[in-house]
Each structure stands twice: as structure tokens, then as C-alpha cells.
Amino acid sequence: MKQKIAVLGAGSWGSILANVLVENGHDVKLYTNSEPQAQELNEKHTNEHYIHDFTYPEALVATTDMRDAVKDAAAVLFVVPTNVTRLVAKQLAEVLRDINTRPLVIHASKGLELGSHKRISEVIAEEIPADLRSGLVVLSGPSHAEEVAKKDITLITAASDDIENAKTVQNLFMNNYLRIYTNTDIVGVEMGAAFKNIIAIGAGALHGLGYGDDAKAALMTRGLAEISRLGIAFGADPLTFIGLSGVGDLIVTCTSVHSRNWRAGNQLGQGKGLQEVIDNMGMVIEGVNTCKAAYELAEQKNIEMPITEAIYHVLYDGKDIKDEIALLMEREGKAELD
Ligand SMILES: NC(=O)C1=CN([C@@H]2O[C@H](COP(=O)(O)OP(=O)(O)OC[C@H]3O[C@@H](n4cnc5c(N)ncnc54)[C@H](OP(=O)(O)O)[C@@H]3O)[C@@H](O)[C@H]2O)C=CC1
Ligand SMILES: O=C(CO)COP(=O)(O)O
């Protein structure tokens, strides 16, 4: 059934998910806070800064008016960087208080809020109380906008406490190139999604430094061990970490040249400074902030996360990557399953 859906955030992932929804027959309004970007999308049907050489359907309408985007929408999809989620959620709550619409709120971002260490669904739930929405769903998994734009095959997860809401999202997004699975473990899905970005920075750095496949497999495997350790301490289902939003997303982000986190790590490995890397990317590198949040959480919970700690020291203390790798290798021998 055709639904009106608002997408908040017109970067690479937001604009391509909006494109999927239009292709699935929905009536989509894409909200951006940039007038020139809305104009480019509506007149040229391109979004060149974020997705090169791609033409969006004419039916996709971009707007800078959040109220216009959200009014009468059955669902609102957040796809903004984690660090602005609270701000945009506050803006949405204000709009919803003013109108009768009570949409299903979905988010597709991957990170933890700096300072509070909260998951994105927690931030949204705080700012948009239950009486202003009809449910909350997380959409996450191994997916690069560049590949979904080409209709390459992609499988991701819709997670919600309420399985019926997860199924609603499954039906909205699923088609012959994008397959959606449901899950009720929001904590595991959001934590897997957030923490894999940290490990992807490490994988890129190994590549930039010229390390081989053994080192990359080691980083991913031991990275998954520490991601799971932290997630389980917050109540995640261990099985979620061997699913799409766990090992699936870890693999794609640690091996794909599309990944902004991998590319950032690769440039760090080649000797560039962090600020230069951030300035040149022009898109969000979520793993940088999430690394700080995970490092602090691990300290608070007294959880061993040596790879995250090493990456934190490189990003925030200006430590040399090779010295950090040497320290990791000099650690005392461990049992694999501890
Ligand atoms: N790219 C991908 O393939 C995937 C990304 N994700 C996740 O999706 C989220 C978004 O990523 P992605 O699309 O890549 O990021 P981008 O950097 O490509 O786009 C983010 C967009 O949000 C906009 N934005 C920033 N602040 C605001 C605001 N206050 N109000 C409205 N819009 C705002 C940005 O505008 P401006 O640039 O002008 O600041 C930009 O257009 C991240 O959490 C990421 O991890 C998840 C899966 C796949
Ligand atoms: O989440 C993603 C892949 O699933 C996108 O990763 P990047 O943000 O590193 O591009």
C-alpha cells in the first residue's frame, strides 16, 4: 500500500533510502537543511556531493520545511549523523506537537551519542515521547549507499521491541535487491552497527600501512570479540553479533573502499593527520566519535577492549599507529574464548 514517508537527512544514505522508498511506490519527502541541496535534488535530480553520477526519480521531492515533509506521514526515517540526532529529534518533536500526525519513527544511523553514550534509539525516545509516535524501529546492516544505488544485492535488519513494527518496516523497504530481516534485539543491532565503525578505521589503517590479509582477519575477529563483550554487558543477545548487523556489517565496513571509516583509517595509515582526513572526507566518519564513547564506556564497565583503546590513542592522543600495533602484539598470551 502506498504510504507517505518523510526522510530526514539527505546525505548519501538518506537520499538512497529515499530513492528505494520511491521505487517501492511510496510518496516520499526528503528533508534537508540546505536550500541549494533541495534545489539540486528537485531541479537536476542529483545529489552530486554525496552520490556521484546518480539520477533520482522525479517523484522524489526534497524540502527544507520539516513540517511539510512530516505532515500526514505514516513513517519518519532519521538518517542524519549521530551528533545531530538529538537536535533533529527535538525539531521533529516540536513539529509533531503542532500537528495530528503520529508516525512510526525509524532510524538508520550508526553511532553512540558523545557524552551520554546513549544509543540513537534512546536519544530519539527521549526527545520524541511515545505519545508523539506510533513506534520506534532501527534499520541497520551491511549496506553502502553506493551499492544500493546500483541495485546491488543488500540484506539488512529492521529491529524493534515490537515485532509488528519491525515487520511494517520490512514491508516498506523490501524489494528484489534490498532484503530485510526482522529482529527484536535493538541493543545488539545498534551496538554492532556503532562499534564496527571503530574497527573499520583500524582495518583501513592496516591497509594504509601495508599489512596483509592475516592481520586484517585478525583485527576483524578480535574486534568482533570486543564489540560483543561490550554489547552483551549492555544486554545485547550474543547471537545478534553473528548476524547482519554484527559480523555482516563488520565485514563490509572493514573491506569496502566505499566505507568512509575504512577510507579514513587508510589515510591515517598512510600518514595523514586526523583533521586533514575529516576535512577531506566531506561526509560523516562516525567511528571517530564512537571510538571515544566506546572507550569511555569500556572504562566505566571495566571491559577489556584493547583494539578500541589502541585506536582511541591514535585518534585522540596522537599516538603512532605502529607503536600501538606493537603494544597490542606484546600483550600477554590469552585464552581465545575468555
Ligand atoms: N553512507 C552509507 O552508505 C551508510 C550510512 N549509514 C549511517 O547513516 C548516517 C548518515 O550517514 P551518511 O548519509 O553516510 O552521511 P552523510 O555525511 O553522507 O550525510 C549526512 C547528511 O545529514 C545532513 N545533516 C547534518 N546536520 C543536519 C541537520 N541538523 N539537519 C538536517 N540534516 C543534517 C548533512 O548535511 P551537511 O553535509 O550539509 O552537514 C548531510 O546531508 C550515519 O550514521 C551513517 O553511519 C548507515 C548505512 C549506510
Ligand atoms: O554502515 C555502513 C556500511 O554498512 C557505512 O559505513 P561507512 O559509514 O564507513 O561508509
Secondary structure (3-state) at 114: coil
Distance 186 CA to ligand 2 centre (A): 18
Would you tell me how many other CB atoms lie within 10 Å of the CB of residue 330?
Answer: 7
pLDDT digits (tens, 9 = 90+) for 43-88: 999 999 999 999 999 999 999 999 999 999 999 999 999 999 999 9
- CB-based pocket (< 6 A), ligand 2: 110, 142-144, 197, 200, 249, 252-253, 259-261, 286
Check if the interface score ipTM surpasses 0.90. Answer: yes
- What is the model's pLDDT at position 305? 98
Distance 203 CA to ligand 2 centre (A): 13
- Rounded distance between C-alpha atoms, residue 278 and residue 79, angstroms: 19
Q: What is the pTM of this model?
A: 0.98
- Among 288, 239, 241, smallest CA distance to 263 is for 288
User: CB of 10 within 8 A of CB of 47?
Assistant: yes
Given a cut of 50, the residues of the chain with pLDDT beneath it are none
Question: Could you give the strand order of the β-sheet that contains 135-140, starting from the edge strand earlier in sequence?
Answer: 61-63, 27-31, 4-8, 75-78, 104-107, 135-140, 154-159, 178-183
- What is the model's pLDDT at position 338? 81
Helix (H) or strand (E) holding 27: strand 27-31
Distance 134 CA to ligand 1 centre (A): 24
Torsion sign across C-alpha atoms 321, 233, 168, 154: positive
pLDDT digits (tens, 9 = 90+) for 8-56: 999 999 999 999 999 999 999 999 999 999 999 999 999 999 999 999 9
- What is the model's pLDDT at position 115? 97
- What is the model's pLDDT at position 163? 98
- Rounded distance between C-alpha atoms, residue 326 and residue 134, angstroms: 51
Pocket test residue of 252, 257, 288 for ligand 2, highest count of atoms within 8 A of CB: 252
**Ligand 1 atom nearest residue 109's Cα:** 43
- Ligand 1 in contact with 79 (CB < 6 A)? yes
- Rounded distance between C-alpha atoms, residue 185 and residue 187, angstroms: 6
**Ligand 1 atom nearest residue 286's Cα:** 45
- What is the model's pLDDT at position 16? 99
Domains and CATH numbers, the chain: 4-184 (3.40.50.720), 194-330 (1.10.1040.10)
Active site residue 44: no
